[in-house]
Structure 1
Amino acid sequence: MRILKRILKFAANNKTYNRVEIQVSNENDGLSGILVDDFTKIKQLFEGAGDFAYRELEINSVHSAVILYLSGLVNVERMESHVIKPLLSNGEELQKLSKQSIDQITAVLSSAQIAQGETFQDVIDEILSGGTILLLNGFKKALIISEQSWEERSVDEPVSEAVVIGPREGFTENIGTNISMIRRRIKTTKLKFEYMKIGTLSKTEVVIAYLEDIAQPSIIEEVRSRLKRIDIDAIEDSGYIVEFIEDHPFSLFPQVLQTERPDRVVGNLLEGKVGIIVENSPFALIVPITFFEMMSSPEDYYGRFIMTSFIRMIRYLFLLVALLFPAIYIAVTTFHHELLPTNLIFSVAASREKVPFPAVVEALLMEITFEALREAGLRLPKPIGSTVSIVGALVIGQAAVEAGIVSAPLVIVVATTGIASFMFPSYPLTGAIRLLRFFMIFLAGTLGFYGILLGVFFVMVHLVQLRSFGVPYFAPVAPFHYNNLKDIFIRVPWWKMNERPHETGKGNMKRVRTRNRKY
């Protein structure tokens, strides 16, 4: 390395040379092949970065080299054994190489993945992504060696989508691990992954996953187009992308499914949908999506169809409870007393005798308090979060009833509504129902049942108008497709679900190929 050191010393003492180097050229410019020139420019770009590291090598009397990397993103031991030792041990053999024989240097290295970069931008991007760069004097190409290594979370059971029967592994923040979990489940060359980078500063890697010949090309192209239009400094989580690609960003209802279960992603890919996997995020995105798919759980497909169908019907029933129960209570106690039996009317009236507030104000107080307790339980540490929320609800509810602030029947209504809201498999859908519940309470408090019917009408009209990447949000009910109803309110046996959804699986509608059964 004596030659390189003499050149660097000469450059440091030469003011004219320094003026040229300080004016760093465009990062898209190609490498010059002059080691000291290229090395100095890259050092200037990383000036002030304490984790930027390099290792100078004198391979032989002819060839000098520099290895560039970020210390926290590279496995140094592997780099030494796979890169440095092979170069130094084969120094005499490499001395005979010409300036165009970089492929022979690649053959000496024992790393599994080696690529070539020709511009400063290629080199910088790879360094920032955890790659190891090898610059050699006299070569206008840099070797990009994959020796990434950083601390990461192990594969654990999904927290937000727990199941009793089914796979227990969930996505992590490592995009390579996430892709491997999908690839393990679909062993076909038709499974495609398209890579792109989003974020001018973060350069976050985003992967589009789909099954060729099943997913519609128009949907794939629309996903690709919407992702390419995103222009933002950084993407920290897949949630950033959701707001950029939704058809109706001001709607309360989610039009993109967020999941941390690889089996759920695979199940949707098999139906012709497109998955979006984002680096550093344990949540993958699935598009297009419908309202009824937000109401289905991955466990629905692992249990027996009879029990699954029963659970689904209960889920839809409690969807109405979570949305309308407090509103119905307010409407009945305020405007429509005749709907209740006489004994029940007397019981409710006696419980509300000491309450100073109207039913609508009483309901709003309890609902807001319940939402605060729910949020507090989420934000507190896990060992005490659930305890505080449960104990808080019991203590506050009992104290409020004894103090005459709220009535006992309303406490039962709010508690039942809260339990119902926990039954939805999709957390974003839960948030939409919780907000709409307040809307229904206001309508019930002003117009009674007429207000509730008006609110339901507006919600249904809104759902029918929604689109998710061009697919009707309320399909297959509106527009109506009889064959697709087999997996909506109930789930028929697997041997009867012989076709994919009409909206997304037109490329290959046939899913189950079995002989005709007698039942």
Structure 2
Amino acid sequence: MGGHRKRTIWHALQPVTGAKLLAGLRGSFDGMADFEAVRLGEAASGELYLCYLSTLVGSEHLLFSLDPSFDQADASLVERYVGTKFAEGDLAACVEALCRGGTVLCTTASASGILLETADWQQRNVGQPLTENVIQGPMYAFNESYRTNVALLRQRMRSPKLKLWETTIGRETSTRAGVFYMQGLADPGLVDRVIDRFARIDADGIQDTGQLLRLLGGKSLLFPLAVTTERPDRVAGALIDGKIAIVLDGTPLAIVAPGAFTDFWAAAEDRYLMPFIALFLRMLRFMALMTNLFLPGFYVAITSVNIDVNRLEISLAAAGSREGVPYPVLVETLLILFLLDCIVEAGVRLPRTIGATVTMVGGVVLGQAIIQANIVSNLLVIVAATTALTNFIVVDYQMGLVLRVLKYFVLLGAGVLGILGLVLCFAILVVFLSRLESFGVSYLSPAGPRARVYTRTWLSWFKSPVRSRERRG
């Protein structure tokens, strides 16, 4: 530090009547083994101390030296500070700074201290996405560092129109959160709505975007109201489409809102493909979604309730495959779907070293055994395997969990009313989705009573991005 900076620091550390900062810091961090209050020396205003949490700071930020010309010969002062510009703060600001990895420079008699940015957070490096496979596009993903995630978005969106609003949430955790939006593209009412909902959050702590989304979102007990992703390119594309992105410190997943039903079976790579190929893939995923939801119920309906709608050959084949099975079709289907969900959940939760083994044992050995024991029919095994396969085609993990739950309700409706039950369940699902809103926007956008059509909805897949940009401007 130069002489002018030394005089500035010395002026800020002059003794002030009132509460003593050092005593307040020692009281606030009493019982914390990693709290350090290191005596640097003694000057005219009293002993000079450097306070920090040893587990959060990096030693490379501060360089010390003996300065014999600074009032007393035994004063050991900071020669150079490597970091952002220092600031002055009271007891509350110093406590918050220490919890974030900062360092406080103070004397025994001062009521305020100098805040130095010395944080050295333990975090993993920027790597490939772990929850989303990248087929085409950038091969890096968000991590748990808020500053890193903001930097990754800034690198992709080199525009002054990309605005960032920041706040801290959680009484105990003081977690930093940021809201990104493109000025001129995002609806100002949407941004104000999100900021207003942040102001209403009253929680002890927020650990993940899933918790934050439940506090910010509307009244939805089942369907996710926003997309969560760890890919910066997907977030950047959504920002260009007029949506907002929420980044939370401590989690690699960003929230893209508002969310529409079509967003959950659309992949980030669709933007990089030819329009007809992207349309084909999205329709394939939608058909897989409907198959996963209604195929087990359709099987139960045509084999136990509405047998007369089948061709004679299909009815005979279904009856032959169930020969010797002691349970009704509905119970048989519930049993095999329950076993499949158990196998999938075990494969997800178990360590990777044994997850594949459990999946092999459960899928092959157990499946072959229950067929030979005449507990389920061969035709039902084909239906169950198709249902499990189509569930994995759904891009979003949260939507896949929703479908795994909904197929049981559809199955029960088909088991009671047959095909009429399937139609009734589909009608209820459409009505429910049409009444659902995500941050004030219809969940079925671009359809729905409060729909908002974005730049790249399914209606504009065949349109040129240049034309969309000209129309928007």
Deviation of the 1:139 alpha carbon? 5.4
* Other-structure match for 1:192: 163
Separation (CA, whole Å) in 1 of partners of 2:448 and 2:382 = 35
* Other-structure match for 2:154: 183
Paired residue for 2:52, among 51, 58, 69?
69
* Other-structure match for 2:273: 303
Task: Answer yes or no: is the 8 Å Cα contact 1:65–1:135 preserved in 2.
Answer: yes
Deviation of the 1:169 alpha carbon? 1.1
Task: Answer yes or no: is the 8 Å Cα contact 1:265–1:286 preserved in 2.
Answer: yes
| Alpha-carbon distance change, 465 to 509 in structure 1, aligned in 2, over 3 angstroms | farther
Deviations 1:283-341, CA, capped at 9 Å, x for gaps = 11121111111221101112222222211111111111010000000000012223333
Task: Answer yes or no: is the 8 Å Cα contact 2:444–2:451 preserved in 1.
Answer: no
Say yes or no: does 1:353 pair with 2:336: no
Separation (CA, whole Å) in 2 of partners of 1:370 and 1:362 = 13
Aligned length in residues: 457
Paired residue for 1:283, among 242, 250, 253?
253
* Other-structure match for 2:203: 232
* Other-structure match for 1:382: 352
Separation (CA, whole Å) in 2 of partners of 1:312 and 1:496 = 22
Task: Answer yes or no: is the 8 Å Cα contact 2:22–2:108 preserved in 1.
Answer: no
* Other-structure match for 2:20: 37
Task: Answer yes or no: is the 8 Å Cα contact 1:312–1:489 preserved in 2.
Answer: no
Deviation of the 1:37 alpha carbon? 2.9
- 1:437 is matched by which residue type in structure 2? K
Task: Answer yes or no: is the 8 Å Cα contact 1:31–1:119 preserved in 2.
Answer: no
- 1:161 is matched by which residue type in structure 2? E
Paired residue for 1:391, among 349, 357, 361?
361
Deviations 1:346-397, CA, capped at 9 Å, x for gaps = 1211111211111111110011111110110011111221232133111111
- 1:215 is matched by which residue type in structure 2? A
Between 229-238 and 139-148, report the one with greater CA deviation: 139-148
Deviation of the 1:163 alpha carbon? 2.2
Separation (CA, whole Å) in 1 of partners of 2:441 and 2:452 = 17
* Other-structure match for 2:235: 265
Say yes or no: does 1:343 pair with 2:313: yes
Deviations 1:379-419, CA, capped at 9 Å, x for gaps = 11112212321331111111111101000111110110111
Task: Answer yes or no: is the 8 Å Cα contact 2:292–2:407 preserved in 1.
Answer: yes
TM-score normalised according to structure 2 size = 0.90
Separation (CA, whole Å) in 2 of partners of 1:481 and 1:227 = 23
- 1:318 is matched by which residue type in structure 2? A
Separation (CA, whole Å) in 2 of partners of 1:392 and 1:490 = 44
Deviation of the 1:210 alpha carbon? 1.2
TM-score normalised according to structure 1 size = 0.83
Deviation of the 1:461 alpha carbon? 0.4
| Alpha-carbon distance change, 414 to 486 in structure 1, aligned in 2, over 3 angstroms | same
Q: How does 1:437-456 map to 2 (within 5 A)?
A: 437-456=407-426
Separation (CA, whole Å) in 2 of partners of 1:493 and 1:383 = 46
Task: Answer yes or no: is the 8 Å Cα contact 1:309–1:489 preserved in 2.
Answer: no
Separation (CA, whole Å) in 2 of partners of 1:484 and 1:57 = 59
Separation (CA, whole Å) in 1 of partners of 2:229 and 2:453 = 26
**Structure 2, unaligned runs of 5 or more:** 1-12
* Other-structure match for 1:469: 439
Separation (CA, whole Å) in 1 of partners of 2:14 and 2:157 = 41
- What RMSD in Å do the two structures reach over aligned CA positions? 2.6
Task: Answer yes or no: is the 8 Å Cα contact 1:355–1:404 preserved in 2.
Answer: yes
**Structure 1, unaligned runs of 5 or more:** 1-29, 97-104, 500-507, 512-519
* Other-structure match for 2:41: 58
Task: Answer yes or no: is the 8 Å Cα contact 1:443–1:451 preserved in 2.
Answer: yes
* Other-structure match for 1:112: 83
| Alpha-carbon distance change, 35 to 145 in structure 1, aligned in 2, over 3 angstroms | farther
Between 205-214 and 357-366, report the one with greater CA deviation: 205-214
- 1:467 is matched by which residue type in structure 2? E
Say yes or no: does 1:213 pair with 2:163: no
Task: Answer yes or no: is the 8 Å Cα contact 1:237–1:280 preserved in 2.
Answer: yes
Please give the secondary structure, in 2, of the residue aligned with 1:255: coil
* Other-structure match for 1:10: none
Paired residue for 1:321, among 287, 291, 299?
291
* Other-structure match for 2:472: 510
Deviation of the 1:496 alpha carbon? 6.6
Task: Answer yes or no: is the 8 Å Cα contact 2:91–2:111 preserved in 1.
Answer: no
Separation (CA, whole Å) in 2 of partners of 1:292 and 1:437 = 19
- 2:413 is matched by which residue type in structure 1? L
Deviation of the 1:135 alpha carbon? 1.2
Deviations 1:43-77, CA, capped at 9 Å, x for gaps = 01111000111211126566642111111100023
* Other-structure match for 1:24: none
Deviation of the 1:489 alpha carbon? 7.2
- 1:276 is matched by which residue type in structure 2? I
Separation (CA, whole Å) in 2 of partners of 1:492 and 1:365 = 44
| Alpha-carbon distance change, 69 to 341 in structure 1, aligned in 2, over 3 angstroms | same
Please give the secondary structure, in 1, of the residue aligned with 2:167: strand
Paired residue for 2:32, among 49, 66, 86?
49
* Other-structure match for 1:516: none
Deviation of the 1:35 alpha carbon? 11
Q: How does 1:82-231 map to 2 (within 5 A)?
A: 84-85=64-65, 88-89=66-67, 92=69, 94-95=70-71, 109-136=80-107, 140-231=111-202
* Other-structure match for 1:503: none
Say yes or no: does 1:420 pair with 2:390: yes
| Alpha-carbon distance change, 67 to 379 in structure 1, aligned in 2, over 3 angstroms | same
| Alpha-carbon distance change, 497 to 416 in structure 1, aligned in 2, over 3 angstroms | farther
Task: Answer yes or no: is the 8 Å Cα contact 1:62–1:95 preserved in 2.
Answer: no
| Alpha-carbon distance change, 66 to 467 in structure 1, aligned in 2, over 3 angstroms | same
- 2:247 is matched by which residue type in structure 1? I
Deviations 1:169-201, CA, capped at 9 Å, x for gaps = 111111111111000001112212222111111
| Alpha-carbon distance change, 336 to 497 in structure 1, aligned in 2, over 3 angstroms | farther
Separation (CA, whole Å) in 2 of partners of 1:138 and 1:109 = 24
Deviations 1:449-493, CA, capped at 9 Å, x for gaps = 000000000000011111111111101122598976963278325
* Other-structure match for 2:448: 478
- 2:84 is matched by which residue type in structure 1? Q
- 1:71 is matched by which residue type in structure 2? S
Deviation of the 1:95 alpha carbon? 4.3
Please give the secondary structure, in 1, of the residue aligned with 2:424: helix
Please give the secondary structure, in 1, of the residue aligned with 2:468: coil
Task: Answer yes or no: is the 8 Å Cα contact 2:347–2:355 preserved in 1.
Answer: yes
Say yes or no: does 1:433 pair with 2:403: yes
* Other-structure match for 2:335: 365
Task: Answer yes or no: is the 8 Å Cα contact 1:203–1:234 preserved in 2.
Answer: yes
